[in-house]
A and B are shown apart, each in its own frame.
Chain A
Amino acid sequence: MHRFANPTQFMRIANAIYPWAAGLSVILFLIGLPIALITSPPDYQQSETVRIMYVHVPSAWLALMIYGIMAGGSAAFLIWRHPMANLAAKASAPMGAVFTGLALITGMLWGQPMWGTFWVWDGRLTSFLILFFLYLGYLALGDAFEDSERGDKAAAILCLVGSVNIPIIHFSVEWWNTLHQPSIVKLGGDGVKSTVDGSILLPLFLMLGAFTFYYFAVLVLRLRSELLAAKIRNARMSQVATHAAIDPAAEGRLFVDSARLPRASAE
């Protein structure tokens, strides 16, 4: 595993994954969207409203999965100081926040017609809102320090502390009575079980796959650009050093230039 701490090694694998992830995501969206939104049957009780599920459940799944990946990355960063693990966590955070927001919004739009309310403070909804704030807190804390290394560490610790919320979100519908219904797919001792009919489960799984591969594809793109930004910054820095050696007056001007560059921590 420590092999992947090397950015070159890490990116070699990430770049190999990228075309597969991007391709599968596009294919699954192309197959899944028409089935989910048009040809799949309406639910016997909720009729067409059930189609919100095909966006809501994959968003919520990604919100949890991305947080899990970020927690793993943050742990590897804090324990072994792997810069790539931290970079992967930082690159994932905005996506996780967006999917959490999407799950919250689609959930509200679904709750109003079915339950009769946009929002209730039950175990599932409340813990999921906390997840959204954890993402925002992670993003804000990482940028709140003058020294980006310290910001990264503080954000990684917040991410680890917040990870206790993940099992709470998952089990909230089983531990306490909630307005939110229990999980659609149950992972038990006897494998994957679901009480949902196959004609509704199929588009759901297609959309789950499409969303998940989308995340991995975009993650690779974000990592690439972060590494390039770091390279540019390093190149500017060494340029500053050379200029400063020849002409001390140039230092200030070039320093301003390099400070305007996007910040990246992997060096």
Chain B
Amino acid sequence: MTRKRQRLYFVVLGMLGLGVGTALVLTAFQDNIVFFRSPTDVAEGKVAAERFQIGGLVEDGSLVKNGEDISFSVTDLNNSMKVKYRGLLPDLFREGQGVVASGRLGPDGVFVANEILAKHDENYMPREVADALKKSGRWNEGAEGGPVPSEAGPKGMTPASTAPKEAP
């Protein structure tokens, strides 16, 4: 075996080992890497931390504004959770839109948020196109507040394990 061949095998094996190692570590820490938990996670008692982020869609018709006091429900289409917040909302915050709230779960089951972030999808389009889609009925408002070309779905709004296989 030539030195070059030897080095080639060494690099290839090294990269393979590194890749497998990284994959194992990332799988082991899967639950810690997610940026937010879903209402379903909370309902199933998977969330142990006192402070965490809850993410999902702002449920249609759930938004109540009373001056700076805001309450709404976060849903992942399976479960939903009531959120209370006092403060300014990001511009993109609206019903049917993705949202991530950080705070803690109160004893009454209401999530008290101290920060609200808006999450948007990757479906960029001009207003006219959005209007046309809405008119033609191809706009799947309930699922993610954006057009849903087949499998795009509410991905990222629910952890892969609990994501509904088919959008209801």
Cα distance A43–B117 in the bound complex, in angstroms? 19
A168 at the interface (CB under 8 A from B): yes
A80 at the interface (CB under 8 A from B): yes
Cβ distance B136 to chain A, nearest Cβ, rounded Å:
14
- Asked whether, in the complex, the Cβ of B122 is within 8 Å of the Cβ of A199, the reply is no
B34 CB contact (under 8 Å) in A42, A168, A176: A176
Determine the residue in chain B with the shortest Cβ distance to A188.
B151
B120 at the interface (CB under 8 A from A): yes
A44 CB contact (under 8 Å) in B36, B90, B118, B130: B130
A80 CB contact (under 8 Å) in B4, B15, B124: B4
B119 CB contact (under 8 Å) in A44, A160, A174, A181: A181
Cβ distance B160 to chain A, nearest Cβ, rounded Å:
8
Chain B interface secondary structure, helix, strand, loop or mixed?
mixed
A249 at the interface (CB under 8 A from B): no
Chain A 179-209 against B: per-residue CB contact (8 Å), 1 yes, 0 no?
Answer: 1011110000000000111011000000000
B167 at the interface (CB under 8 A from A): no
A184 CB contact (under 8 Å) in B124, B128, B131: B124
- Asked whether, in the complex, the Cβ of A44 is within 8 Å of the Cβ of B122, the reply is no
List of 9 A-B pairs having minimum Cβ-Cβ separation, nearest first: A116-B90, A41-B126, A197-B125, A44-B130, A122-B35, A44-B127, A195-B123, A181-B122, A79-B7
One of A21-29, A45-53, A222-230 contacting the partner = A45-53
- Asked whether, in the complex, the Cβ of A196 is within 8 Å of the Cβ of B122, the reply is yes
Cβ distance B6 to chain A, nearest Cβ, rounded Å:
9
Interface centre among B4, B18, B19, B124 (most CB of A within 10 A): B124
Q: Using a CB-CB cutoff of 8 Å, which residues 157-189 of chain A contact chain B?
A: 160-161, 163-164, 168, 173-179, 181-184
Chain A residues positioned under 8 Å from B121 (CB to CB): 181-182, 195
- Asked whether, in the complex, the Cβ of A116 is within 8 Å of the Cβ of B149, the reply is no
Cα distance A122–B162 in the bound complex, in angstroms? 19
Chain A residues positioned under 8 Å from B155 (CB to CB): 174, 182
- Asked whether, in the complex, the Cβ of A176 is within 8 Å of the Cβ of B35, the reply is yes
Chain B residues positioned under 8 Å from A123 (CB to CB): 33-35
Q: Using a CB-CB cutoff of 8 Å, which residues 70-105 of chain A contact chain B?
A: 75, 78-80
Question: In the complex, how many residues of chain B place their beta carbon closer than 8 angstroms to a beta carbon of chain A?
Answer: 49
Q: Using a CB-CB cutoff of 8 Å, which residues 116-168 of chain B contact chain A?
A: 116-131, 147, 149, 152, 155-160
B100 CB contact (under 8 Å) in A160, A168, A179: A179
Interface centre among B15, B26, B125, B129 (most CB of A within 10 A): B125
A–B pairs, 22, beta carbons within 8 Å: A42-B126, A46-B124, A79-B8, A113-B91, A114-B90, A115-B90, A116-B93, A116-B116, A164-B18, A174-B155, A174-B156, A175-B26, A176-B34, A177-B156, A179-B100, A179-B119, A181-B120, A182-B155, A184-B122, A195-B123, A196-B123, A199-B129
- Asked whether, in the complex, the Cβ of B30 is within 8 Å of the Cβ of A43, the reply is no
A6 at the interface (CB under 8 A from B): no
B92 at the interface (CB under 8 A from A): yes
Cβ distance B51 to chain A, nearest Cβ, rounded Å:
14
A117 at the interface (CB under 8 A from B): yes
- Asked whether, in the complex, the Cβ of A160 is within 8 Å of the Cβ of B11, the reply is yes
B118 CB contact (under 8 Å) in A42, A79, A114, A163: A114
A120 at the interface (CB under 8 A from B): yes
Cα distance A173–B148 in the bound complex, in angstroms? 18
B39 at the interface (CB under 8 A from A): no
Interface centre among B22, B115, B117 (most CB of A within 10 A): B117
Cβ distance B167 to chain A, nearest Cβ, rounded Å:
15
Chain A 7-50 against B: per-residue CB contact (8 Å), 1 yes, 0 no?
Answer: 00000000000000000000000000000000001111110001
Cα distance A161–B35 in the bound complex, in angstroms? 26
